[in-house]
Amino acid sequence: MAQYQVVTPKKLGQAALTSTIAIIYTAPTSTRAFFKQMSVANTTAAAITVNIHLVPYGVAVAPANAIYYEYSIAANTTLNWTGTHILNAGDSIQAKASTTGITLTASGGEAV
């Protein structure tokens, strides 16, 4: 039977970011995921910077795997991103902010 024939849309993860890197989503074993949409909301009265990474399995967070790096989100605004990134089994979405006040929501799907 061919692999990756059943695709299920889903919310990949949601988290209130802190200044410590957090894993938002990890693609499960025997699964390929697609990262399709992301909202990053700043709920404070000051700008906050964010780092968002697509990290391959077995690799550490680094500038080389950032999709947003030290990106400033203005006070009381939301960054909306739409595109397509593929995550293989074990790959992850990881993020942090310069301070509290950021909520990240990622959506996409999984194929098995």
In this prediction, residue 2 has a pLDDT band, given cuts at 50, 70 and 90, of low
Alpha-carbon Rg for the chain, nearest whole angstrom, is 14
Q: In the 8-state DSSP scheme, what is residue 74?
A: P
Tell me if 22 sits within 8 A of 93, measured CB to CB: no
Phi-psi region of 77 (alpha: psi -120 to 50; beta: other; left: phi over 0): beta
Cα angle 86, 83, 75; round to 5: 120
Does the pLDDT of residue 29 top 70, yes or no? yes
Nearest CA-CA partner of 55 in 19, 85, 100, 15 = 85
Q: How would you class 2 by CB atoms within 10 Å of its CB: exposed for 0-12, middle for 13-18, buried for 19 or more?
A: exposed
Domain spans of the chain, in order of start = 7-111
pTM for the predicted model, two decimal places? 0.93
Superfamily the domain 7-111 falls into: Nucleoplasmin core domain (2.60.120.340)
* 55-78 pLDDT tens trace: 999 999 999 999 999 999 999 999
